[in-house]
Amino acid sequence: MNDESGIGEPGVEIKKTMCWPSPGCHCNCGLLVKVKDNRILDIRGNPDFPYNRGAVCAERVPHFVQWLEHPDQLMHPLKRRGERGENLWERVSWDQALDEIAAKLQDLKARYGAECLSTIEGTYRSDFYPIRARFLNLFGNPGNVGAAGTACACNKVALSFALAGTTLPCVLAPPIKRLNCLVLLGRDYWAANPVRRRPMRRWREQNPGAKLIVVDPRRTEMAKMADMWLQIRPGTDTALLLAWMHVIIERGLYDREFVERWTHGFDRLKERAAEYPPERAAGITWIPSEQIVASAVAYAGNAPACIMSGLAPDQLGRNATRVEQAKLCLHAITGNMGGKAPGLAPEGPGPVVDGVMAIRDSMLQMAELCSPRQRARQLGSDRFKLMTWPAWERMNALYQETYGIPLPMSGHSFTAPEPAIWRSIVDGTPYPTKALITWGSNPLLNAANTKMVYRALKSPNLDLHVVLEHFMTPTAMLADYVLPAASKLERGTLSTMEDFTSVLVAAERAVAPLGERRTDYHFFRELAIRLGFGEHFPWETEEDLYNWRLAPLGITFKEAATKRYVITSSEPWTHETINPRTGRPTGFATRSGKFELYSNLLEELGYDPLPCYEEPPESPVRTPEIAAEYPLILINGGRFLPQFQSEHRQLGMGLREQHPDPLVEIHPDTAARLGILEGEWAEIETPRGSIVMKAHLAGGIDPRVVHAEHCWWFPEQPGAEPSLHGLWQSNVNVLTTDEPDACDPLTGSWPGRALLCRMRPVSPPA
Ligand SMILES: Nc1nc2c(c(=O)[nH]1)N[C@H]1C(S)=C(S)[C@@H](COP(=O)(O)OP(=O)(O)OC[C@H]3O[C@@H](n4cnc5c(=O)[nH]c(N)nc54)[C@H](O)[C@@H]3O)O[C@H]1N2
Ligand SMILES: Nc1nc2c(c(=O)[nH]1)N[C@H]1C(S)=C(S)[C@@H](COP(=O)(O)OP(=O)(O)OC[C@H]3O[C@@H](n4cnc5c(=O)[nH]c(N)nc54)[C@H](O)[C@@H]3O)O[C@H]1N2
Ligand code: SF4
Ligand SMILES: [Mo]
């Protein structure tokens, strides 16, 4: 495919698109797609695209055509006949579906208030989150947005806004090339971010002196590559990081100049860290104290150094956000936040090109329409305050003052915790949720406590459930309307990545939507028109919207998507940049103007302002009585290829065939004791339920820990109840909990990890 124009082959075009879910993943590789007559002939990596420079993963990309042309892809709107879960459908037109949904929403709003609607969404699956925010604000909704993001990455982003007033590169995308030390804390680049493999290998080869430290209960591919592998007890990362702080402060290894000039509350942090000598942390984490000291010294002595924390810490329930707080404080005291670590400086909003900013997501959201009375009604916001209005309002005031634009609320760093939404459907407390729009998410698989989600989706209290999907998932099976959504191959993209970054990414669509598939944008706009506020959606297509968003920069969407790809600021906007609004260094958009080691915001919200360690909600230490019956620690969700989340389970596209069965990883000694054999089925049971998976014996996992894969369902099993495509067989969230007391008090994120379980061999499922 050297001939990019396709000249010489009549009717052939090369489209420059981007790979992201679905059918790809969050690595956002640039693709060159060869198209003829709206059919994809070939897909290659785009050598000019900055994120992947032509590389793509062999596991998924060769199967995208089969994915798109798979017979199970939804092509027409469907309306339920019979009961939810009976799998009886009638084909309807888009107009009929939209008219009926709008009328129902209008009626429910009149009877129960605009707060009776919630949306359920996936993680970073759309550039239309700001459009959804705009829609909800115009509808009068208080921001009842349920998202996996509450327990995935977005809690980190919210905390970074709280402590640093903006996003930091160490939160999502560390500049590996420039580092002398990388710490992977519950992050497995190998399986989760295939596009990082090549840069990781190159970094190791070209910087033999640089340190790689991996903290993981399992010996992952990354752990095998590491200088130090710390085999941690699941759920105890904060204790480890507090002990690092102890060592670094006690030995004077911190960056005095940065601490004095740019941080707030060092003395208080020092007192807290003093409570965690390495010997104490060793008892908590199962990591020998010499290893804790050696790794702390290696981290502090090798700037620029970055701690990249993955998903595991986000899913620890009560202590989830504290891991990130401890991590960011370590970055600050070691000066890994600019200066000697330029790639790690805070990022102001952007892109700002020659003094002009493009339209960011936050500028579309219309938060000002949400009244104080409605804000107080956001589900969960009375208790979980860091990702809801209480923190948003305080942070927004500082953000506006510093950057002159609103703080984003459209991305998933602003959510109503899902457990509160399910309970409001089931019990009607604190008020009834009557309507759900689920788009780009499969909560029966991805949300904690599947039995609770099922009760909510089956509840007679739920008057309307709309699902926008590519495939008939177990969740879609419980909808009233299933609408066929255009995939990323079938629509263009323009994204500031939920405003988590300062860049704008643009990509063309590869083909026009198949069948009657429409974009999620089309859905929200058409609904807005029918609900009487269509004038706020003047852009007929998403491309019109994109052109409008780019107009301040003087470029078109076509130009951005085919020539620029990733638009960055002409000058980075860091804490040291002279702020054009004040004429002084920008600093941090916090109350102190500095990075807050002691958080004024958390204190105002009634939380401990300093990082603190808390035992997992269920553990040999906190709940020995449960541990007596369920002696193993269950972790889950470690990534595997080629599947992505609950996707790629259909047979016949060459993806499921690569990894056909759900696997549970167990140490050979533990397996021998329990009579569990390699490749045989085993039951995993927690106090909440049991599932079965095939056993995989692995010496690299701690013998006291087992690891189960996440999001397993089986499209080949019957769709109708009771099966719901095998929903109950191997779905790890049957085992997890979303009890509010087990959730993180700051964000409401639920504990997917570090729970207790027991195992036994069983015969294969029918
Ligand atoms: N126990 C446990 N639970 C977990 C995890 C874990 O590790 N362990 N991981 C958690 C994490 S990190 C995450 S991010 C979540 C995953 O949560 P999600 O991101 O919600 O992923 P899925 O559950 O696969 O649901 C996504 C659905 O959206 C559809 N889809 C894809 N693109 C589009 C689109 O553009 N428009 C529309 N309308 N639909 C689209 C797909 O077909 C798919 O069915 O799961 C979480 N759940
Ligand atoms: N193939 C594939 N890739 C994906 C996804 C997918 O579903 N499939 N999902 C995407 C999404 S949305 C996300 S959020 C990322 C997540 O990807 P990662 O951030 O890599 O997260 P995980 O794979 O859940 O876990 C990484 C490691 O954490 C370890 N771990 C478990 N418990 C603990 C603990 O308490 N402490 C520590 N330190 N480590 C622990 C596990 O053993 C595992 O090796 O992957 C993304 N990429
Ligand atoms: S790693 Fe593979 S699936 Fe993920 S974006 Fe890149 S090419 Fe696509
Ligand atoms: Mo995620």
Atom of ligand 3 nearest to the CA of 57: 2
Strands (E), 499-562: 504-507
Question: How do the domains of the chain map onto residue ranges?
Answer: 12-68, 78-153+357-567, 169-343, 624-761
Q: Whose CA is nearest to atom 46 of ligand 2?
A: 192
In sequence order, what DSSP letters do the residues of 370-389 get, joined into one string?
S-HHHHTTSTTTTT--TTSH
Nearest alpha-carbon partner for 244 in 230, 256, 258: 230
Beta strands in 442-513 (DSSP E): 464-469, 481-484, 493-495, 504-507
User: 612-635: b or e for each residue (b if 16 or more CB lie within 10 Å)?
Assistant: bbbbbbbbbeebeebbeebebbbb
Q: Which fold has domain 169-343?
A: Dimethylsulfoxide Reductase; domain 2 (3.40.228)
Taking each helix axis as running N to C, give the angle between helix 237-250 and helix 320-333, from 0 to 180 degrees, rounded to the nearest 10: 20
Statement: residue 104 has pLDDT above 60: yes
Ligand 1 atom, smallest distance to 447 CA: 47
- Over 90: is that where the pLDDT of 696 sits? yes
Give, using CA atoms, the residue closest to atom 39 of ligand 1. Answer: 440
Sequence-distant (≥ 6) Cβ neighbours of residue 575 within 8 angstroms = 262, 337, 338, 345, 346, 585, 586, 587, 588
What confidence tier does 3 reach under pLDDT thresholds 50, 70, 90? very low
- The percentage of residues in the chain with a pLDDT greater than 70, rounded to a whole number, is 99
Query: What is the predicted pLDDT for the residue at 6?
Result: 53
Do the strands 181-185 and 211-215 form a parallel or antiparallel pair, or are they unpaired? Answer: parallel
Atom from ligand 1 closest to the CA of residue 446: 47
Torsion of the alpha carbons at 256, 259, 261 and 265, rounded to the nearest 10: -140
Is any ligand 2 atom within 6 A of the Cβ of residue 172? Answer: no
Residue of minimum CA distance from atom 46 in ligand 1: 446
For residue 7, is pLDDT > 80?
A: no
Residues near ion ligand 4 (CB < 5 Å) are: 123, 152
Nearest ligand 2 atom to the CA of 191 is: 1
CATH 2.40.40.20 fits 624-761, yes or no: yes
State whether the beta carbon of 56 lies less than 6 angstroms from ligand 3.
Answer: yes
Whole-Å CA distances, 98 to 134, 169, 466, 516, 549: 18, 41, 10, 14, 27
What distance in Å separates the CA atoms of residue 51 and residue 518, rounded to the nearest whole number?
A: 28
Residues 6 or more apart whose Cβ sits within 8 Å of residue 753: 234, 235, 312, 315, 316, 616, 634, 635, 636, 637
- Cα 480 to chain centroid, rounded: 27
CATH 3.30.420.40 fits 12-68, yes or no: no
Check residue 283 and give its pLDDT: 98
- The residue written with tokens 């039995």 in the block is 451
State the chain's maximal CA–CA distance in angstroms: 73
Residue 2 has pLDDT above 50, yes or no: no
What pTM does this model have? 0.97
Span from the CA of 442 to the centroid of ligand 4 (angstroms)? 13
Q: Is 149 in the pocket of ligand 3 (CB under 6 A)?
A: no
Give the pLDDT confidence of 317-376 residue by residue, as tens digits: 999 999 999 999 999 999 999 888 989 999 999 899 988 999 998 999 999 999 999 999
Closest ligand to C-alpha of residue 320 is 2
Instruction: Compute the distance between CA of residue 273 and CA of residue 697 in angstroms, rounded to an integer.
Output: 38
Ligand 3 atom closest to the Cα of residue 18 is: 5
- CA-nearest of 611, 612, 609 to 600 is 609
The CB of 497 under 6 Å from ligand 1? The reply is no
**CA 79 – CA 251 distance, rounded (Å):** 66
600-608 long-range contacts (CB < 8 A, ≥24 apart) are: 600/264, 601/162, 601/163, 601/391, 601/394, 601/395, 602/162, 602/386, 602/746, 604/394, 605/385, 605/386, 605/390, 605/391, 605/394, 606/385, 607/385, 607/386, 607/745, 607/746
For 457, the enclosing helix (H) or strand (E) is helix 450-458
Q: Are 356 and 570 in contact (CB under 8 A)?
A: no
* Ligand 3 binding pocket mutation candidate from 43, 57, 639 (most atoms within 8 A of CB): 57
Mean pLDDT of the chain: 96
Task: Count other Cβ atoms within 10 Å, centred on residue 81.
Answer: 10
pLDDT tens digits, 365-413:
999 999 999 999 999 999 999 999 999 999 999 999 999 999 988 888 8
Is the C-beta atom of 187 inside 6 A of ligand 2? yes
Q: What is the Å distance from ligand 1's center to 447 Cα? A: 9
pLDDT band at 500 (very low <50, low <70, confident <90, very high): confident
CATH class of 78-153+357-567: alpha beta
Mutate to test the pocket of ligand 3, among 18, 20, 25 (most ligand atoms within 8 A of CB): 25
- Dig out the tokens for 497 from the structure: 């990545």
The pLDDT value given to residue 249: 98
Mind listing the pLDDT tens digit for each residue in 658-691?
999 999 999 999 999 999 999 999 999 999 999 9
Measure the CA–CA gap between 322 and 318, rounded to whole angstroms. 9
Question: Counting atoms of ligand 2 from 1, which one is nearest the CA of 148?
Answer: 12
